[in-house]
């Protein structure tokens, strides 16, 4: 039997481009949900109760799509608080690494942790996001750096999606850094990624996409191309950490492979922007890392906007450069640091974040899409990023069910 539910007396911020008014706003609305999907939106003046159908009165509250965090490294072992202290005392990245910190310390802690230990550490981070109205989250690997432990991270990500009320997309980020056993032999490690780790993740069905770190402290353009070519052979969508600290040409490589997203993108040039626009690739802005690392080179938001490149916003939640389990805070920082409008920031946490994950069934309030949405005790959608640390969530709905 079909399951029906009506939500009434709503102000809907649909973020649907079919409605040209700011936020795609639709006041005085009702929303009908059938079997986990939005069946129709209609003005309250046209709505009438159907016998036997549950009705939930929104009492004039705002309803938005569920928030989507499209770039996280949420599963990791250990912490990097000591690194944070050392950096504030003036230590360089190299000095932090020499003292036993840096990404290698996270890799060691992640490898040493059990799957249960990683799950237990990740769960409160994820619950913090859910409390902000997040209904979908991407979780990357990248702290295992061998087949056994990369797959371990991905299994934990999948389990989080099974055991918590959230939709999880998992991304293989094996080409994140060179592990200690391949020190001085990055090409050898890329051989392992392409020959062993990528096929193992694909065969196990653990990866929804493949990511990499193309950077002067990461992997070269040629090494990145090898990873993308192998991922494409395996039928996996692509994305990249690119142009964060320098210009390496990674964004154009992502565009060449029709990648879902190019992430960070502080050092984009005009040709990169044109390539992203032509490919329909989303630019994912990560203001948490920008803030935490005290960077000064901002993403070229005005040029991206003018070129029509979709702009997503995400937490980049990770232990080393963005330990912030708050997507609404990232929306605020995207406005204050990068110059987005509140509407752009919220679209970047819903509609454009869905695009960055290759999802076409969520991110807007539109008939036919999944009934993943949030209801808020606010007077205007801009409040969600204006005062990001004030709890405003009234109800979070996943697949039509209040969770």
| Phi, psi dihedral angles at 336 (to 5 degrees) | -75, -35
Q: What is the pLDDT at residue 285?
A: 99
pLDDT computed for residue 99 by the predictor: 80
pTM listed for this prediction: 0.97
Contact (Cβ atoms closer than 8 angstroms) between residue 158 and residue 189: no
pLDDT at 284: 99
pLDDT of residue 1: 42
Instruction: Look at residue 3 in the predicted model and tell me its pLDDT.
Output: 83
Low-confidence stretches of the chain (pLDDT < 70) are 1-2, 94
Q: What is the pLDDT of residues 162-220, one digit of tens each?
A: 999 999 999 999 999 999 999 999 999 999 999 999 999 999 999 999 999 999 999 99
Give residue 98's pLDDT. Answer: 75
Whether 350 contacts 15, CB under 8 Å: yes
**How much is the pLDDT for 84?**
93
What domains lie within the chain, and their CATH numbers?
A: 4-66+364-402 (2.30.40.10), 67-356 (3.20.20.140)
In this prediction, residue 2 carries a pLDDT of 64
What residues have CB less than 8 Å from 247, skipping those under 6 apart?
267, 268, 269
- Model pLDDT, residue 97: 74
Q: What is the pLDDT of residue 392?
A: 98
Q: CA 53, 57, 61, 67: dihedral to nearest 10 degrees?
A: -40
Number of H helices, E strands in the chain: 16, 16
By the 10 Å C-beta count (0-12 exposed, 13-18 middle, 19+ buried), 128 is classed as: middle
User: Token digits for 99?
Assistant: 């003292």
């Amino acid at each position: 039997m079909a399951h029906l539910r009506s939500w009434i007396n709503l102000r809907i911020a649909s973020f649907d481009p079919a409605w040209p008014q700011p936020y795609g706003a639709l006041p005085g609305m009702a929303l009908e949900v059938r079997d986990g999907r939005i069946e129709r939106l209609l003005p309250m003046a046209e709505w009438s109760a159907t016998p036997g159908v549950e009705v939930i009165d929104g009492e004039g509250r705002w309803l938005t799509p569920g928030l989507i965090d499209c770039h996280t490294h949420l599963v990791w072992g250990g912490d990097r608080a000591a690194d944070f202290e050392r950096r504030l005392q003036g230590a360089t990245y190299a000095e932090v690494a020499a003292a036993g910190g840096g990404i290698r310390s996270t890799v060691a802690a992640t490898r040493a942790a059990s799957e249960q230990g990683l799950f237990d550490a990740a769960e409160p981070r994820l619950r913090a996001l859910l409390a902000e109205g997040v209904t979908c989250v991407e979780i990357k690997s990248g702290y295992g750096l061998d087949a056994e432990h990369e797959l371990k991270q991905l299994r934990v990500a999948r389990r989080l999606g099974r055991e918590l009320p959230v939709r999880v997309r998992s991304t293989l980020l094996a080409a994140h850094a060179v592990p200690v056993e391949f020190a001085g032999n990055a090409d050898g490690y890329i051989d392992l990624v392409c020959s062993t780790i990528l096929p193992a993740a694909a065969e196990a069905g653990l990866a929804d996409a493949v990511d990499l770190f193309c950077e002067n402290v990461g992997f070269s353009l040629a090494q990145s191309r090898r990873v993308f070519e192998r991922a494409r052979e395996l039928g996996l969508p692509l994305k990249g950490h690119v142009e964060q600290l320098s210009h390496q040409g990674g964004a154009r490589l992502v565009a060449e492979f029709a990648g879902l997203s190019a992430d960070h993108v502080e050092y984009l040039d005009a040709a990169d922007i044109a390539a992203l626009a032509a490919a329909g690739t989303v630019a994912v802005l990560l203001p948490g890392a920008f803030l935490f690392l005290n960077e000064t080179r901002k993403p070229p938001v005005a040029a991206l906007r003018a070129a029509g490149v979709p702009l997503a916003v995400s937490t980049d939640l990770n232990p080393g450069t963005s330990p912030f389990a708050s997507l609404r805070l990232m929306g605020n920082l995207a406005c204050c640091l990068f110059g987005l409008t509140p509407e752009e920031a919220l679209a970047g946490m819903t509609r454009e974040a869905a695009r960055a994950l290759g999802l076409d069934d969520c991110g807007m309030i539109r008939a036919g899409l999944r009934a993943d949405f949030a209801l808020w005790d606010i007077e205007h959608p801009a409040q969600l990023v204006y005062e990001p640390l004030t709890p405003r969530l009234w109800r979070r709905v996943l697949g039509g069910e209040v969770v």
